[in-house]
A and B are shown apart, each in its own frame.
Chain A
Amino acid sequence: MQRVRKESGPRVRGDLRASYPPRMTRPLILAPRVALIALIAFGIAACARQPEPQAPAIAARTLDPARLAFTAVPPDSLAAVIASGGAQGTLVNVWASWCEPCREEFPGIIRLSRAYRDRGLRVVLISADFTEDLPNARKFLAEQGVDWPTYYKTGDDQAFIAALSSNWSGSLPGSFVFDAHGVLRDSWEGKASYAAFERRVRPVLSLPELPAGSTDSTTHGKDRS
């Protein structure tokens, strides 16, 4: 109550309530009403904020799978694709439409891309789907609201694996963090959470380490559609 009264003080200056005499008696009488109004307003505002959107607005936008920029990338073009973005850091994620762990971590990657693109992160998604499954991959990308160019793998598996990391066994999903010079700085295989992705890309973006178990709330504010 006291906090509400304090906040209501300066704000009344200049509006109708500014004509209230600055006497102690009247504010004392009005205080409960002001506080009540403020409380209701606060409650409405709070309700209006809840629940916060769980997914970026773009996920709700309908994308046409057939119109997505989805192009083949053979092993010998991988380095050029990674370098072409000129980003401070590039996260490459190899996935497939049938791969359940890939699908599960995907929303986190999309969120990461939106949260960190202004900080120099580029996300390169490469589908490892077989030719007959590429329509499913397109459909999934559209459902996830991926509105930037992505790729599908072609050519020899071994050359493809070697072009990303000699430490990669080839198991999906595989994730790789490259610096601005195209040098591999980090990689892992298996599903990761949003927090894990965030923790792994921040060093290459020269961002400070986050406390264990937390995510950067400032980046959440930068989520955009």
Chain B
Amino acid sequence: MKPILLSGAALLAASIILVSGMPAGAEESAPAALALGSKAPMADVQMKTAAGSEVSIAGVKGAKGTLVVFTCNGCPWAKKWEARIVKLGNEASKKGIGVVAINANDPSVNATDDYANMVTRAKDRGMKFPYAMDATSDIARAFGATRTPEAFLFDGKGLLVYHGTIDDNADDAGAVKQPYLANAVWAVAGGKAVPVAETKSLGCGIKFRAAKTAS
């Protein structure tokens, strides 16, 4: 009986995995997120920054690591976490971590996410790192980013060591118990292993521009 039970359980588990995936057929299906240990994709693609210059992920690479945060101007989650992202980004920039915030949202879906608002937000929030526009949303696609804000932290070798949320309480900075991203950033800056490598949080779906099909 045991093997039968085991194989039945395995079959059931396989069925559950099969049926519970994010399958094709939804209007928008979730892409696979960049796996831990991966290098940053599309790292050489130049993006226009809120400061009016151009930057690439490779261009901001720090000696100790690189932090890429997909965010935007209008999402309430992004706004709740914005001050914490800016504070951490500004501090990390001084400690050998290259930082870039990327807005991949299509402003035709929500005008708040346009370039002019990026300029305003970067200035008003005192961002000392580039806030860049992913003008095709292809960088976000390549990362498998789905929501704002969503962080990807690479170590000094350029390998992904943390992917996920900012901390465990978007709504109340004072009630945060797990500053996941800060812990990961300071671990990388100190040459240590990150304590928690993958986390999740709720967030606004990225408003992807239509993908260009290969001709």
Contact = CB atoms under 8 A, between A and B. Distances in A.
Given A157-B202, A158-B168, A167 B22 contact: yes
A183 interface: yes
B141 interface: no
B16 A184 contact: yes
Interface in B54-83: 76, 80
A116 interface: no
A64 interface: no
A48 to B, nearest CB: 36
Interface string A167-211: 111111101000000011111111111001001100000000000
A165 interface: yes
Given A167-B20, A172-B204, A190 B199 contact: no
Among A171, A192, A193, max chain B CB count under 10 A is at A171
Contacts of A184: 16, 19-20
Contacts of B124: none
Contacts of B201: 157-158, 161, 170
A128 interface: yes
Interface stretch (B25-33, B39-47, B114-122, B128-136): B25-33
Contacts of A168: 22, 30, 200
B203 interface: yes
A190 B205 contact: yes
Q: Report the interface size class on chain A.
A: 35 or more
A195 B161 CA distance: 40
A99 B20 contact: no
B106 to A, nearest CB: 12
Contacts of B200: 157-158, 161, 168-170
Contact of B147 (A133, A169, A175, A183): A169
Nearest to B180: A158
A77 interface: no
B20 A186 contact: yes
Interface string A92-103: 001010111100
Contact of B20 (A96, A100, A101, A187): A187
A172 B19 contact: no
B19 A189 contact: no
Contacts of A225: none
Contacts of A133: 76
Contacts of B28: 188-191
A78 B203 CA distance: 19
A156 interface: yes
21 contacts: A98-B76, A157-B202, A158-B168, A158-B199, A165-B20, A167-B22, A167-B30, A168-B30, A169-B30, A170-B201, A171-B147, A171-B206, A172-B202, A172-B205, A184-B19, A187-B22, A189-B30, A189-B205, A190-B28, A190-B30, A190-B205
Given A170-B200, A172-B205, A190-B30, 16 more contacts: A94-B202, A98-B76, A131-B171, A133-B76, A157-B170, A158-B168, A167-B20, A167-B22, A170-B202, A172-B204, A184-B19, A186-B20, A190-B27, A191-B28, A192-B27, A196-B25
Interface of B: 16, 19-23, 25-30, 33, 76, 80, 109-110, 146-147, 165, 168, 170-171, 199-206
